[in-house]
Amino acid sequence: MSVQQYLERLFTWESLENTDRGVEFELKNRLVEAELHGVAGGSLDGTDVDAAAITLELPDGTLMDATDASAEDPIPFDLAETVQVVLDAPRLRRGTHTVGVRMEIEGWGTVGFETDDDITDADLLDVDPADYTVAELEALIPDLRDPLELERLREREREGKARKTAVEAIEERLETAREAAPDEDEIEYGAGNASSGGSVVEELLVDILESPQRVTVYLTARRLQPATPEQVAGRTLFSEATVEETLGDFEMDGLAERDDAGAYEMVSPVAVLRKRQRRLWNVLSRGL
């Protein structure tokens, strides 16, 4: 597993969206506890986004400029916590988009990843123009880039207040948007198919195995099995000593078997779940 693939797990699928603040997506710590020492920048559909154009919304709702994070003033990023990344960038049209972020993480240095996610009809602007003055609509319209959201806005204006100036402004922008946007039959959605089919299983295993680190070792060893600690460490970011200790814990818990050559074979995810259920029932029984 490459560093790119490992870090990609931070990204929350289907979190990419257009908002009043810009283009946003969510990072969730599914790996190990860490500190963010900075954000070196990002990317959107192959275009670099400077760190100065990135805002972070922390788990407690605090907003901070990405450039304010440092080794002296780090951002704690505990397991299961989320950080919302806001890019000061034009609204995205429907289809699949490539987003990325480069971060300075304690102990790792500057690392990053790129991944794909979709913008769908539900992510487009969906408002009632009657709630806006003509001046407010004229200020809003230049930011809209997808013909569908402009067509929807125009029809609602026609059926509502039908203000001539507003309709003309929407139609002018709609004409420009149609020229720049792909045809409807050319819009592609592929990010959903690109995500790992095992993601739900991995989320479940996090709850069962108690940490993303243990899940990573378990899944990597299961894919390679029979696998030695050295082989598993070579496919992850963990040291061989850490992997060996984790695999030893799995063996003690009955989740893995070690052969004479020092290689491990893991039990199936279903067996992991069953063992956890029996353990929970035993604890409850002792308390009754």
Task: Please tell us whether the domain made up of 199-287 is placed in CATH 1.10.3720.10.
Answer: no
- CATH fold for the domain made of 3-122: Immunoglobulin-like (2.60.40)
Instruction: Kindly report the pTM of this predicted structure.
Output: 0.67
Share above pLDDT 90 across residues of the chain, in percent, rounded to a whole number: 57
Q: Residue 225 has what pLDDT?
A: 87
Q: Residue 63 has what pLDDT?
A: 97
Query: Are residues 51 and 60 in contact, defined by beta-carbon separation less than 8 angstroms?
Result: no
Nearest to 269 by CA among 224, 206, 194: 206
Q: What are phi and psi of 144, to 5 degrees?
A: -85, 130
Per-residue model confidence as pLDDT tens digits over 233-285? 887 767 888 899 999 988 888 889 999 999 999 887 766 666 555 544 443 44
Q: How far does CA 139 lie from the centroid of its chain?
A: 31
Per-residue model confidence as pLDDT tens digits over 104-126? 988 778 889 999 999 999 899 99
Per-residue model confidence as pLDDT tens digits over 180-212? 999 988 888 876 444 443 444 555 555 556 566
Q: Comparing 74-83, 145-154, 188-197, which segment has the lowest mean pLDDT?
A: 188-197
Query: Coil, strand or helix: which one is 254?
Result: coil
Q: What are phi and psi of 58, to 5 degrees?
A: -80, 170
Delimit the domains of the chain by residue range. Answer: 3-122, 125-186, 199-287
Q: Comparing 47-56, 66-75, 203-212, which segment has the lowest mean pLDDT?
A: 203-212
199-287 and 3-122 share a CATH fold: no
Query: Are residues 251 and 264 in contact, defined by beta-carbon separation less than 8 angstroms?
Result: yes
B/e letters for 53-92, b = 16+ CB within 10 Å, e = fewer, are bbbbbbeeeeeeebbebeeeebbebebeeebbbbbebebb
